[in-house]
Every structure is written in structure tokens, then in C-alpha cells.
Structure 1
Amino acid sequence: MLLVLDLLGVAVFAASGALAAVHARLDVFGVMVLAAVTALGGGVLRDVLLGVTPPSTLRQWPYLAVPVVVALLVFRWHPAVARLRCGVQLADALGLALFVTTGTTVAIGVGAPAVTAVLVGVITGVGGGVLRDVLRGDVPTVLRREIYALAAVIGAVVVVAGDRLGLPPTPVAVGAAVLVAALRVVALWRRWNAPLPRPAA
């Protein structure tokens, strides 16, 4: 079941990356590359930071096949996918929630300190999107608007706190995932953004 949920998160992030590539007018190869980087970038960064080499997502063929298939589907039917923007954003929130909690849990499992586990969890959740934006030549979205990285930080802290308190890991991870997804969805609905500096006089 965890594998299915993980691959669902990969598929959602792959769709996000593929749509960004289509909007940037990249060719079919560029669409596949951006989809794969968005979907797998966070997990690869997590494994590299934790010393897991080669990264687990590069050792299992479904993790490589899903982004390619999704990219081709988006490339072919991107007008219809673009109309499902709200659905994609909701699924993206669920993918963020899943990747943050699993990334933090993996870090805890290898004995990482609390602060490291939080950082690894956040990087797992937002890393793919940051790489996507950098490849497109944009300032990463998580650095300039929307409650995205903040939701990831809160979720990772909840997972680490639950571990330090000796709480059962599965309910804690589920609760943290629900919290991350809820924060992200509410932020989109209410149009919440992190504070910006006031313009110079």
C-alpha cells in the first residue's frame, strides 16, 4: 500500500513538472526530463543526504517508468489536464504531505538528529519543485510565495516530535500528512502567502 501511495505522489509531481515544461514550450524530451526531475528530485536529494547510494528511486523501475508515462500523457493531452488545475493542486498537496512524512520517517530510521530529520523531510517534499523551477530559469516558488515550505516544516516537526515522545509512528505519520495537506489546501483556498518585504519608499 505504501508503494502505491508513493507512486501516486510521484505521478502527481510528474504531472506538475510536465505541465510546467509544456507551459515553457519544451519539446517532448524536455517534458519527460522536467517531469522526472520534479517527481524524483526530492527523494534523490534525501537519499544522497542520508548516504543511501545509489538512491532507492533509481534502483526500482516503477519510479522511473511512472514519470515517463505521465509526461507522455500530459504532453499529448495537456489542454485537458490544464483544465483540471484544482484537482492537480489538491493531488500535489497530498503528494507533498506524503513525501514530507516519509522523508522525515526515513531520516529518523537511519538515526538522524531531530533537526536533520526535519530538514531532510522538507527537502524531500519541496526538492523536486525547486529543481523544476531552477531548470525553467525561475526563482523557486517556495521561496517567493504561497504556504508550501512552511506546511512541510510543520509536518516534519510533528513527525519528529511524535518520535521523541515515543508515540506510535504510523498514526503520527498519518496525522502529520493530514495536517500538511490541510494547511496546503486551506492556503490555496484562502490565498495565503508568506510575508513579503515592504517596497522601498
Structure 2
Amino acid sequence: MNVVEFFDYAGVALFSATGALAASRKQLDILGFVFLGAVTGIGGGTVRDLVLGVPVFWVVRPDYIIVCAIASVVLYFTAHFAESRYRWLLWLDAAALAAYGVFGTYKGLLISGSATVAVVMGVLTGTLGGILRDVLANEPSVLLRREIYVTAALLGAVVFVACRQAEASLLVSALGGAGMAFALRGGALAFNWQLPVYKAREGVDAREFRR
């Protein structure tokens, strides 16, 4: 197993854990934990593979489903030990975004050979699982929180691609991309870092369109 394959499994497990934490907040049964954990763990990678036109990874290697199930069951028995489950969810999500985003970028680059496509695949893989989790669990969406989120996945993907194009080793590229993504997302959680937001402005009077 090389470093990016490790990041792949780690990303699936971490995202599954966040899905299980969301299930604990909704007081679901153990099958609800496994379902939400699996959807969160494999959701981003499934869409990535469909877009790239390659066999869906967990269909080819069902052990990913086992990883999701194990992570979810462990959280079913241990989630109550977390002092603030939503806070844990956000930090685990940050780690999953960093790890899984790097693997998505690697796979996008491997399949397409395009740096642009690789970056898009990295962002998609790193963020979609968390978005699906929040929609299904009716949690406040990480996408709509004001702290930096998608930008962290974008930074990690760009750093990975830049390192690979500079002929850095796979290990250096993966650690660099994941480290930058986690640092940015972690800083956003710890210090409330935000990008400038859109400010409402006085618009054109609707009557202008009826003239």
C-alpha cells in the first residue's frame, strides 16, 4: 500500500466516522449508523468515479464497505464519550477532507492527465461526502458555514498537483497537499477564518423590468 492508497482508506474511514457521529446526534439505531457512515464514506468517491468514467471503487473492492461498517459500529459504541460530538464531527471532517481530497486529486491526475481535472476531482472527493452527510442527517451544512471549507480542499489539490508537476515524490506531494488542506481548514475552525462574503446591495427596482 502506497501513501495515497493509505490516504484513500483513511479518508473513507474518517468520513464514515463523521457520518456515524451525525447518526449519534439523531439517536439512530446501529443500522442507521452504518447506512449514514457508508453514504458519507463512499459518497464523494462514487461521484468522482462516475464523472471520470471508471469502475466505482467500492464495487471493485468491497473492503471499503467493510471499512465504513467497522468505523460506524465503533462509533455506535463510543460516540457518547465525546464531550462535543458536533465539534468532533467538524475536526474529523477536516482530516477526512485533507486525506480524501489528496487521493481524489491523485486519481483524477492518473486517469485524465489534466491538472485542472485533477483539482476538480480532489475538491469533489474531499467535500461531497460531508455535504451528503449533512443533507441526510439534517445537520447545519458544512458548505454553508462561514469558515473556509471548499477552499481548503482546493488548496490541498493545487499543492498536490504542483508538487507532482515539480517532480516531487508521491509521499512529499501527498503530505504537502493534505497538510496544507488540514492546516487551512483547521485554522478556519480554530480562528474562524473566512473569505470575504457577498454583501447585499440595493438592487434595481422590479418595476424597471416591466417598462
Partner residue in 1 for 2:130 = 129
Distance 1:97 1:105 in 2: 13
Q: Could you tell me which residue of structure 2 aligns to residue 97 of structure 1?
A: 98
Work out the CA distance in 1 between the residues paired with 2:183 and 2:45: 22
Q: What TM-score, normalized to structure 1? A: 0.85
Deviation at 1:167, TM superposition (A): 4.0
Can you give the 5+ residue segments of structure 1 that lack an aligned partner in the other structure? none
Runs of at least 4 residues off by over 6 Å: none
Q: How many residues in Structure 1 have an aligned counterpart in Structure 2? A: 200
TM-score relative to the length of structure 2: 0.81
Alpha-carbon shift at residue 80 of structure 1 (Å) = 0.8
Amino acid at match of 2:162: A
Letter in 2 for 1:7: Y
Deviation for aligned residue 1:117: 1.4
Is contact 1:9–1:92 with CA below 8 Å preserved after alignment? no
Structure 2 letter corresponding to 1:47: D
Q: 1:187 to 1:198 in 2, by over 3 A?
A: same
Indicate the SS of the match to 2:82.
helix
Alignment partner for residue 30 of structure 1, among 32, 35, 39?
32
For 2:21, the equivalent position in structure 1 comes to: 19
Distance between the aligned counterparts of 2:58 and 2:14, measured in 1? 16
Counterpart of 1:121 in 2: which secondary structure? helix
Deviations 1:22-63 (A, max 9, x none): 21233332221111111111111111111112x112322321
Partner of 1:119: 120
Give the 3-state SS of the residue equivalent to 1:25 in structure 2. Answer: coil
Q: Quick one: distance in 2 between partners of 1:57 and 1:114?
A: 25
Do the aligned partners of residues 75 and 170 (structure 1) sit closer, same or farther apart at CA in structure 2, a change above 3 Å counting?
Answer: closer
For structure 2, which runs of at least 5 residues remain unmatched after alignment? 203-211
Aligned counterpart, 2:208: none
Instruction: Verify the 8 A CA contact 1:104 1:120 in the aligned structure 2.
Output: yes
In structure 2, the partner of 1:59 is 60
